Structure 1
Amino acid sequence: MLCNLLFGSLLLAGCGGSNDPIVVSDAKPVTPVVPVVVPPTVVPPVVVSNERWTVGDLHVHTFQSDDTQQTTTLDQVLAKAFTTYGLDWAAISDHLRVSNYDNNGNRLPAAIPFSKGMADYQVPRIKALQAAGTYADKTIFAAFEWDMPTHDHANIGILTDTPMSAAALKAANQFEYLFTNRAASDFLPADVAAWNAADTKAFSTHADAMAAIAWLKKNYPETSYMQINHPSRNLGSYTIAQLREMNDLAPRIMFSIEGMVGNQMEPDRGGYTQASATTPNPVALTYGGVDYLVATLGGTWDALLSEGRHIWNVADSDYHFKTNGANSSGYSPGEYAKNHLWGEIKDPKSLLAAMRGGKVYGTYGDLISALDFRVTSSAGTGEMGSDMTAKLNETLTVTVRFKSPDRNNYEFQVGSGVPANLKPQVDHIDIIAGNITGLEVAGTAGYSRATNPSTRVVKRLTASDWKLDADGYYAASYTMPATTSTYFRLRGTNQGVNVAGETSNGEPLADVSIKASVVTDAATRFNAINARNYSDLWFYSNPVFVKVGGA
């Protein structure tokens, strides 16, 4: 018999030779010791977040929009956006009108609906470039700018489950048939028959505009969006009741307004030509390059935010061309206006999800290149686009951290490509707050309320308030009691608080027009427009909503 017999983990004593019996002292029974099995420690997998700040533009035109004055091919605009100015993502959004040109400016034998031009020229070229490795790490997709019946322009993106697929292109084609005045003869007869059986063409009234939004909601509720472009450029384009109506109908589709408008190289900033009128209407002007709707403290945007609506402000180039002969229009994508968006942006659908989340801020002239804006209560921390809670009368802490680059894209002379090495400098940042009073109801007087009287600057941060931290951010904070449900947003500028012709008590003044009748030499005028824009820089954050319990 084996000596040193192992029973479980117990070594039995008293083993003799191979024939000796096993002797147990005192003849007491031996209770075997059962080992304790300790399960291995389960280490949870490390979750690596690929979320980061990205920069992009949702409003870019090419040759296929006739008003580009045939100056910008698709390849040229993509090179400007991604190679020259380093964007991470862009939506090409040519006009949903008839198109007379292909991507390269070759005139077509006959005009075609833009949705067909998108399918025949634009999308195949984008796909070919990315398949060959050019811009393979960028998010690019084709959208379109729609002439909304009785209103102004709106960017429409229909992504479907596979953006820029045959299904997505057919959806754009169907939208153009239903919601523009294109003739049935411009479309395939079988498609027209099927579309007529399901829907009615609608392209003339406000009700038709609402029908188009309802169509998007019915067919592409999670994979489409509609952005209101340059909302006040033409007087009477929208009432706030109409904006509420659109958002009420489809809050996951109509959730963004281009308040930081493009076309900044125009003599009338943003193309807001009311600036040239003898008695200009203040509603149809820009203020620091920003639409009246967003720029006005306590105005239309604040009225919408006072209801807790998730309607975000964005900044786009609306690029058509920069200069052409004696004419000027706008900066290239990424040159002057930028959206800084937080998220894991890997394709158009993740881009749309991040935009809906609202953690986005807009800048002009790279006034800031990074922003950390948050509100903290005992319940946690909220960032841009979020809803958070707080207890009545507890202390809220608003934290602002930002960076500015060593230089922006200001050049002199215009078109020379020679940087002026201008370093943007933030003069002050306003922490703006407004009370949240709840949704207005259609059919009541409040549905037409276009102001929020509670909106105020609760703190104006200056260089005396912020300090450079270990991460290279300028950081400051502000505390206030949580007395009522409140949203917070930021507005910053390189301008002083009272600068003749620019600001009054910190509020931006209407922008000055630099007309050809005043500055007749084109090159001199372009430089004056450029200097006007780069001397007047702003950024706007989106809001954090704080719901106060018991308020």
Structure 2
Amino acid sequence: MFKKSDLSVAVITSIFILSGCNSSDSDSKSGSTAPNGKWTTGDLHVHSIQSDDAQRDLKDVLDYSFDQYGLDWVFLTNHLRDSTRDHRGSDIAEGPIPFSVGMEKYEVPFTQMAQLVGHYEEKTIFSAFEWDMPTHEHFNIAILGEDPQSIDSLKAIQQFEYYFTDRDPAMFNPEDVSQWDEQGERAFTTHEDALKALAWLQANYPTSSFGLINHPSRYSDSYVISDFREFNDIAPDVVFSLEGMMGGQMEPDRGSYMEPYTEEFLPYRSYGGADYIIAQVGGQWDALLGEGRRIWNFANSDYHFKTNDGLYSSGYRPGEYAKNHLWVPENAEEGVKGLLQSLRSGKSFSTYGDIINALDFNVSNQNSTAYMGSDLNVSQGEEVTITIRFKSPESNNYEYEVGSGQTGGMKPFVHHVDLIAGDVYQKAEPGTPEYDQATNPTTKVIARFTQDDWTVDDEGFATMTFSFTAEKDQYFRLRGTNLAPNTPYQTDENGNPLPDELVNIDDHQSRFNAINDRNYYDLWFYSNPIFVVISE
């Protein structure tokens, strides 16, 4: 299973359709949907040089995000640790300082001033942070408050860092520390302390904060399924998302998933670039959805740098490879508040390599239609129809050679789309065996669509339908790929992704190219689910 594959340029170009077009598709946000609003694209996990392991200044990060790759919104998520550099990479004279203080002094003023003078117009930039969750893994948190990025909301982030990290109290304003000590206690060591942090967010910012479980299976000791249930139970309005399509895709170990390449650690590998949590049909994500938990999947860059010093590679730039396509209703609030409402709704899908750039996935009966993230209430025995409509762009951002700035004129395509369904049953109770159950045995691929099953209209949209009789509460989700079943080293006979292989080549440029080829050879998209609920 772990044989090294030889993905040469000749091989990869034979897999893809070459269009000869080097520009990105101008119709990337089109698609048909009934409600009023618009599709947007963005990234929830982006670092700049203020993180000690990142190498690109803030202007460079934002220029790539918006000017080159056309994203609509970006959440900056530098590490909530000691900070030694400003947004340009210069050493902080009084450093180290808490990053929450560095955010207030450097990151937010830069982004606000840039937009004030006309840069990144009509784009949304928000400063969140990546927290080292006690006894677990990295966890992104955004605290908007009543007035996002105001003094009050930035102070709330500093309060969080004081309470839930081991920063020295002397690094904060003494008056703030005195006030915070009166309001609560510090907690930054145990699993219970992690829960206290989430409970604090739920109590103080239930509608104006959210948390994202980052690269969940990167390490074997990071999380178990009961952790996800517990997080969601304690902070249901805050913990509604996981990074099932993680960044770090330019690492030799795809996604930076570096546990041993042995059978024992198969759940901690990446599969088609995705976490096993979402890649396994009937796995942990399906176990959570099977309880009716509204927990959504997202794809991010986790950008630190693409390549550095000609020696190392890390992740693609924001918008270059991973994208979240998020529906923002016409009546949503302005700016980041509207984005948070939209993220919470679950009406989104996520892609690698722009395999698709438009998706209309809905479930309907005679009376109404439900879209991703929502419910369709039906009567038992009622006929229900699922409609899937998607489009791929004329080209994506495949680059050869890596670092040349030359795109390869590659046109992505979809080999097949899987319709996945699972039963919805009673939510598991803490302390029961079900609370530790990491599978949903009812979940299956109930239909597979290829080009023989869909029709393509004049605009390039492929459409297919599936009808069934509603007998029980269920959810439905999609995945799609450019790979056929039984593709050597990539998919099994049922079309499921296989564990990604290590790219281990001594020559640095050759290794960068092989990693990039590996990733563009193996493209996937995942939708968020729709729930069909039998009315009483």
Q: What are the Cα deviations for residues 80-115 of structure 1, in whole angstroms up to 9, with x where unaligned? A: 000000000000000000111001110122211100
Q: Report the equivalent of 1:93.
A: 77
- Conserved in 2, the CA contact under 8 Å of 1:381 and 1:388? yes
Per the alignment, residue 23 of structure 1 pairs with none
Aligned counterpart in structure 2 of residue 296 of structure 1, from 267, 280, 285: 280
- 2 CA distance for matches of 1:191 and 1:360? 39
The letter of the residue matching 1:324 is: N
Structure 1 runs of 4+ aligned residues shifted over 3 Å read: 276-280
What do residues 189-246 of structure 1 show as CA deviations (whole Å, max 9, x unaligned)?
Answer: 1111110111100000111001001111111111000110000001121111111111
Of 43, 52, 62, which aligns to 1:78?
Answer: 62
Residue of 328, 331, 337 corresponding to 1:349:
337
Which of 386, 395, 399 does residue 383 from structure 2 map onto?
Answer: 395
Residue 349 to residue 511, structure 1, CA distance change in 2 (3 Å): same
Larger Rg: 1
Q: After the TM superposition, which of the residue ranges 437-446 and 400-409 deviates more from structure 2?
A: 437-446
Q: Distance in 2 between matches of 1:321 and 1:175?
A: 27
TM-score (norm 2): 0.91
Find 1:437's aligned residue among 384, 406, 425: 425
**1: CA distance, partners of 2:205 / 2:43:** 22
Q: Residue 217 of structure 2 aligns with which residue? A: 232
Residue aligning to 1:13: none
Query: Aligned partners of 2:523 and 2:460: how far apart in 1?
Result: 22
> Which stretch of the first structure deviates more once superposed, 536-545 or 228-237?
228-237
Report the counterpart of residue 171 of structure 1 in structure 2: 156
C-alpha displacement of 1:471? 4.8
| Residues 480/49 of structure 1: CA separation in 2 closer, same or farther (3 Å cut) | closer
Distance in 1 of aligned mates of 2:485 and 2:368? 33
RCO (CA 8 Å, sep 6+): is it higher in 1 or 2?
A: 2
Query: What is the percentage of aligned positions where both structures have the same residue?
Result: 52
Deviations 1:421-466 (A, max 9, x none): 0000100000000001121111221111110000011100000011
Determine if contact 1:94/1:143 at 8 Å carries over to the other structure: yes
- 1:433-472 matches, within 5 Å, as 433-469=421-457, 471-472=459-460
Which residue does 2:355 correspond to in 1? 367
How big is the shift at 1:251? 1.2
Task: Note if contact 1:57-1:338 (Cα within 8 Å) is conserved in structure 2.
Answer: yes
Residue 473 of structure 1 deviates from its aligned partner by 1.2
Match of 1:215 in 2: 200
Q: What CA distance in whole angstroms lies between the structure 2 residues aligned with 1:93 and 1:448?
A: 31
Q: Matches of residues 478-493 of structure 1 in structure 2 within 5 Å?
A: 478-493=466-481
Map 1:57-456; keep pairs closer than 5 Å: 57-68=43-54, 71-109=55-93, 110-274=95-259, 276-277=260-261, 281-325=265-309, 326-344=311-329, 346-456=334-444
Please give the alpha-carbon distance, in whole angstroms, between the structure 1 residues aligned to 2:64 and 2:35: 29
Distance in 2, Cα, partners of 1:503 & 1:472: 27
Letter in 2 for 1:203: F
Is 2:488 the partner of 1:500?
yes
3-state secondary structure, aligned to 1:341: strand
- 1:533 aligns to 2:533 (yes or no): no
1:280 Cα deviation after fit? 5.4
Q: CA deviation at 1:393?
A: 1.8
Provide, for residues 33-65 of structure 1, a one-character-per-residue CA deviation record: whole Å limited to 9, x for no partner: xxxxxxxxxxxxxxx986100000000000110
How far apart, CA to CA, are the structure 1 residues paired with 2:294 and 2:500? 28
Task: Give the distance between the partners of 1:359 and 1:397, measured in 2 at CA.
Answer: 18
Q: Distance in 2 between matches of 1:223 and 1:61?
A: 22
Residue 278 of structure 1: CA displacement? 5.3
| Cα distance in 2 for residues equivalent to 1:136 and 1:423 | 29
Specify the SS of the correspondent of 1:356.
helix
Would you say the 8 A contact 1:379–1:390 is kept in 2? no
CA distance in 2: counterparts of 1:280 and 1:310, whole angstroms: 30
Q: What is the alpha-carbon distance in structure 2 between the residues aligned to residue 409 and residue 432 of structure 1?
A: 29
Cα distance in structure 2, aligned partners of 1:188 and 1:369: 47
Structure 1 residues 238-295: Cα deviation after superposition (integer angstroms, max 9, x where no partner)? 1111111111111110000000000000000000001x54555011100000001111
CA distance in 1, matches of 2:257, 2:394: 31
Residue 380 of structure 2 aligns with an amino acid whose one-letter code is L
Q: Which amino acid aligns with 1:510?
A: P
Partner Cα separation in structure 1 for residue 36 and residue 466 of structure 2: 30
**Aligned residue number for residue 19 of structure 1:** none
CA shift, 1:472, in A, is: 3.5
Greater displacement, 466-475 / 427-436: 466-475
1:105 and 1:533 mapped to 2: Cα distance?
A: 30
Number of aligned residues:
497
Extract unaligned runs of 5+ from structure 1. Answer: 1-47
Cα contact 1:434–1:455 (8 A) shared by 2: yes
User: Which residue of structure 2 aligns with residue 37 of structure 1?
Assistant: none
